[in-house]
Amino acid sequence: MYTIVTGAAGFIGANIVKSLNERGVNRIIAVDNLSRADKFRNLVDCDIADYIDKVEFRERLLAGYFDGDVEAIFHEGACSDTMETDGRYMMDNNYRYSLDLLDWCLDQEVQFLYASSAATYGGSSVFKEERQYEAPLNVYGYSKFLFDQIVRKRLPEASSQVVGFRYFNVYGPRENHKGRMASVAWHHFNQCRAEGKVKLFEGSHGYGPGEQQRDFVYVGDVAKVNIWFLDHPRQSGIFNLGTGRAQSFNDVAVAAVNSTRALSGEAELPLDSLVKQGIIEYVPFPEALIGKYQAFTQADLGRLRAAGYKDEFATVEEGVRQYVAWLAEHV
């Protein structure tokens, strides 16, 4: 029997593959689109049974090729570019593809664990997994939102596990290929190395410079939650996957800069000193993001905790320190 990971060469998918390997699971079919070939590096230290292109996989799945031979599917494959304007592509890639997999898993009674997104909440100030708090601001968020609605309708009759994870701001190893869509921690590390400073947005949405807040969650914790649900197949539903703590972009910048400085034996500095020395610089808020920006997110973990997941999540300070150490060895 195989475990299938879609988006396997991507950020979260590759971390799930690595986590499966660490528990002795190697019969993994990795599915992805390598038209951007540099993503292959995320799988170099992973063990898989086969790699299949996304288009070929979808065709073979619908043709019955994998019937009776799969234990679980981790569906991480999606277009995660929140600035993508091709709605037809987004809906086929994120919604219709997911629906094909859901139908197949329910028919085959295969565990189905998939990536949703906190983008489903849009401009909401409440982040609970309930319909009244969901108002996506872009077609990416809508594609995830719409699929979640289908899942909710199917769950009462589902004969196998279906779990959706509303990822908040994930950061950590194996996101190098994402470029401008990589986490702010990744950007800060690279800016600090290249320019000796990092850039944050000036104040907006009632927040001071760099004080906009997000729920930043370390990818290692994201993988742990996915694996926990794999081990608890009776737990189904849609769950927030963040830390439950909102921290500011200033917190991320300070953690990234000081972790980078530590690599060279330099002392840590507080925020005000970093700003005074020009190491943290504030830039105007982009017009392109007006009306499309979440200035505050914080996962409500009530449903996740009620399902039985008890482990704590890394703080920005803890997670960014680990991440910078990894980047220093891999970039």
**d(Cα 292, Cα 186) in Å, to the nearest integer?**
22
Residues with Cβ within 8 Å of 284's Cβ and at least 6 positions away in sequence, in order, are 201, 202
Active site (annotated) includes residue 140: yes
> Around Cβ 60, how many Cβ atoms within 10 Å?
12
The catalytic position among 2, 51, 128, 178 is 178
Question: Which parts of the chain fold into alpha helices (H)?
Answer: 11-22, 54-62, 87-90, 97-108, 139-154, 184-195, 219-230, 249-263, 271-276, 302-307, 316-330
| C-alpha distances out from residue 36 to 32, 39, 143, 178, Å | 10, 6, 22, 10
**d(Cα 217, Cα 202) in Å, to the nearest integer?**
23
Q: Are 168 and 242 in contact (CB under 8 A)?
A: yes
The catalytic position among 95, 97, 140, 323 is 140
Q: Are 215 and 125 in contact (CB under 8 A)?
A: no
Q: Are 296 and 248 in contact (CB under 8 A)?
A: no
| Cα dihedral sign, 266-267-269-273 | negative
Active site (annotated) includes residue 178: yes
Question: Residues with catalytic annotation?
Answer: 140, 178
